[in-house]
Chain A
Amino acid sequence: MEQKPLARKTGLVTQEMPDELLIYDMGSKKAHCLNSTAAFVWNSCDGNTSIDDIASSLERMTGKSVQKDIVVLALEELSKNNLLDGEDIGLPSGMSRREVLRRVGIAAAVAIPVVASLAVPSNVMAATSGVAPGGPCVDPVDCQSGACLGSPGTCL
């Protein structure tokens, strides 16, 4: 049966930017930055549109030739980052991402889809200007060095 991917919408905060899309996953505490191709594919995943149709829409939007493999690459990236609902979407069986990239790389007229991700540390971890060495601490995150000897203890 023809796959009609569906973008996950729950538990996500999105922010559109020119040519990019930022997504924050409130469950996994991961942030993602989708480039224009990945963002277009993600926005096209409404559960009613086939992969071929997404490729055609991308062609119309960019005015450039788009291989189906470009959309498959995007879907694989989105699926891997838990940004799609439903069954996982993978690369053609027996092919690695590198092989698919090589296949589309030379011919690709649009940007290769990229989903950059990072895990956001806890709030306190982000505030690393803590207590100077020798000062009191309860937890490693209290210390500038990130090391607390004992609890309560002393920052190393």
Chain B
Amino acid sequence: MLEGIEQRIRAVFRGNYEIVDRVRVDHQIELVSDIDGGHQLKIEGKSVLKTSDKVGLVDYTLTKIRVIVAENAENCVFVHAGALEKNGGALLLPGNSFAGKTTLTVELLKRGFRYLSDEYGVIGPNGNVAAFAKPISLRDGGRTQIDRTPEELGFDVSVGASHVGAVIFLNYEPNTTFYAQKISKGSAILSLLEHALPIRSRPEFTLKTLSAIPSSATFLNGKRGDAREAADQIEKLLDC
């Protein structure tokens, strides 16, 4: 059961994990093969999902692992966002799935930004941003998803950014011309809370960490249509 999953964990966490014999267990995730040929996932000893779809179960397990890591990371706040780096500053593009985050992230990568993540902005206590450079999840025009490493796509991967340079909230609306206006840092952090995984479990830490984003960062809110046009406009706005 573990054969396919280790390779995929390696791809998601890119070496930021260790295989150990004994360790203090914070969260217990088990994949169990049943005698009837089925498989099941147990989290903290409780059966969460039983299925005969092994590949699907691995997908599901990786999703759960990512969420557990994102919610419980001790010294940083995970926000659901596309994240890129240029000249040491991070650009965060918060948004939910199907909001076109990855499409816009890829367009910016083509323009010389470096990849941090297409899923999480990982903000540290000093306002720095760590990489969570999982494979890029591309859609084939429909709802099917294909994962490719940034290297396979020819993009540079960043090890992290010293600070947040910009946070841009863009709603995708087909056939819309790019539009963005400046918002205050407080408004930006308020909107970021909607995407911050530990806000409910660790609100004080989350607020404190997000407030370390420098006031000098660019905070924009707006809407976009075509990702290429949006990427061009973002490049101009950030003057890079």
Q: Is B200 an interface residue (CB 8 A)?
A: yes
Residue of A nearest to B195 (CB): A126
- Structural contact, A127 and B80, CB atoms closer than 8 A: yes
Q: Which of A19, A22, A121, A136 contacts B51 (CB 8 A)?
A: A136
- Structural contact, A33 and B186, CB atoms closer than 8 A: yes
Residues on the A chain within 8 Å of B189, using CB: 17, 22, 33
Residues on the B chain within 8 Å of A118, using CB: 190-191, 193-194
- Structural contact, A127 and B197, CB atoms closer than 8 A: yes
Residues on the B chain within 8 Å of A116, using CB: 186-187, 190
- Structural contact, A127 and B50, CB atoms closer than 8 A: no
1/0 contact string of B53-70 vs chain A (CB within 8 Å): 100110110010011001
Q: Which of B56, B193, B198 contacts A31 (CB 8 A)?
A: B193
- Structural contact, B48 and A29, CB atoms closer than 8 A: no
- Structural contact, A22 and B186, CB atoms closer than 8 A: yes
Residues on the A chain within 8 Å of B53, using CB: 135-136
- Structural contact, A129 and B186, CB atoms closer than 8 A: no
Q: Is A128 an interface residue (CB 8 A)?
A: yes
Instruction: Classify chain B: how many residues form its interface, as a range.
Output: 35 or more
Q: Is A138 an interface residue (CB 8 A)?
A: yes
Q: Nearest chain A CB to B66's CB is how many angstroms away?
A: 7
Instruction: Classify chain A: how many residues form its interface, as a range.
Output: 35 or more
Q: Once bound together, how far apart are the Cα atoms of A146 and B143, in whole Å?
A: 12
Q: Provided the pairs A22-B211, A138-B49 are in contact, do residues A126 and B145 lie with their beta carbons within 8 angstroms? A: no
Q: Once bound together, how far apart are the Cα atoms of A14 and B137, in whole Å?
A: 36
Q: Is A76 an interface residue (CB 8 A)?
A: no
Residues on the B chain within 8 Å of A35, using CB: 184, 186
Q: Nearest chain A CB to B171's CB is how many angstroms away?
A: 15
Residues on the A chain within 8 Å of B11, using CB: none
Q: Once bound together, how far apart are the Cα atoms of A127 and B206, in whole Å?
A: 15
Residues on the A chain within 8 Å of B144, using CB: 132-134
Q: Nearest chain A CB to B17's CB is how many angstroms away?
A: 18
Q: Is A144 an interface residue (CB 8 A)?
A: yes
- Structural contact, B194 and A126, CB atoms closer than 8 A: yes
Q: Which of B51, B186, B200 contacts A123 (CB 8 A)?
A: B200
1/0 contact string of A1-25 vs chain B (CB within 8 Å): 0000000000001110111111010
7 contacts between A and B (CB under 8 A): A17-B185, A22-B207, A118-B193, A126-B199, A127-B70, A127-B197, A129-B137
- A residues near B (Cβ < 8 Å) are 13-15, 17-22, 24, 26, 29, 31-35, 116, 118, 120-124, 126-138, 142, 144-146, 152
- B residues near A (Cβ < 8 Å) are 48-51, 53, 56-57, 59-60, 63, 66-67, 70-71, 80, 96-98, 119, 137, 143-145, 184-187, 189-191, 193-201, 203-204, 206-208, 211, 215
